[in-house]
Amino acid sequence: MSTNTVDNKRKVTTARLLDMKQRGEKIAMLTAYDYSMAKLIDEAGIDAILVGDSASNVMAGNMTTLPITLDQMIYHAKSVVKGTERALVVCDMPFGTYQGNPMEALASAIRIMKESHAEAVKMEGGAEIRESIERILSAGIPVMGHLGLTPQSINKFGTYAVRAKEDREAEKLISDARMLEEIGCFALVLEKIPAALATRVAKEVSIPVIGIGAGNGVDGQVLVMHDMLGINKGYSPTSPCSATPPGSASPSATAPWPWMPSTPSIHPSRFWAISPTSPAFSPPLPPSTCPTSSPSPVPPPTRSSPQNHKKHLVNTN
């Protein structure tokens, strides 16, 4: 949601996001998976829409993001593009469509661009997938990186806990972020890492760094729409900041970002997934609108109920 009201109707491009970073204007990004929601979000002035593979969780009820297919992502992205005029539409490349080899990655990205008309793709990982990213970039397809908690690797991590708390993992993340900048990614998502580390990365790289559960020292925030609206079954935060009754929220009335303090009730539940006492948490709203007390504890994930696998709602610090 650009704070730049002068040319607020102008189409958001990757270049414009870079420009926003340079001007110190914060970038707002939300997920959407269908035409109607994309239209609402776009009209509300959100800068970028992510057709996230979180569709696997919130649309299809899967335990993880792994099962969603390329065809399904293209279906969602196509619907979102139809509802969008201004926002940049970024589509996640689903698990298994880019890790194998660069040519397969390129073929997957080309299908996304040709069939959905999304304007960029997002890929999880660093050095391991460098060649695939480079191949896609060489075809003129903008790539957004994604480091930190990368849910397509949940079976390797074994937990949705905060990543990069240890020096070694933090160093690798910094070097991956620099590499993504160097090879030409237009932006980078940092998910669920300590706020201090995210702030450092945002300062060190020239491309926009969009955080989720990474504190507010970054260039923008991305939220899963369902988390923001609090419509995840089985998750009922007690904080008045996030206690928007299901169905009552309108994206045009939402502003979970710290630089939009005027908006009253909705709060990004994904931020509450991290205890305010943890190093990864930087309260996103001022104390006057958000209580400083901890949110109600959220049970750890189990394999028994899909809703507990809403990956970012889990307090695993």
Q: Which residues are catalytic?
A: 191
Least separation, in Å, of the C-beta of 176 and ligand KIV?
16
Which one, 42 or 92, has the nearer CB to ligand KIV? 92
Structure tokens that stand for 245 in this block? 């009754």
Which one, 25 or 53, has the nearer CB to ligand KIV? 53
Give the Å distances, CA to CA, from 114 to 36, 39, 124, 179, 211.
22, 21, 21, 27, 28
Which one, 31 or 265, has the nearer CB to ligand KIV? 31
Least separation, in Å, of the C-beta of 71 and ligand KIV?
17
The residue among 184, 188, 160, 180 whose CA lies nearest residue 280 is: 160
The binding site for ligand KIV (CB under 6 A) comprises 31, 50, 52-54, 92, 189, 191, 212, 222, 224
Least separation, in Å, of the C-beta of 60 and ligand KIV?
12
Q: Give DSSP secondary structure letters for 136-175.
A: HHHTT--EEEEEES-GGGHHHH-S-PPP--SHHHHHHHHH
Least separation, in Å, of the C-beta of 311 and ligand KIV?
9
The closest residue (CB) to ligand KIV is: 52
Which one, 212 or 280, has the nearer CB to ligand KIV? 212
Q: CA 271 to CA 213: how far, in whole Å?
A: 5
Torsion of CA 72, 78, 79, 84, to 10 degrees: 140
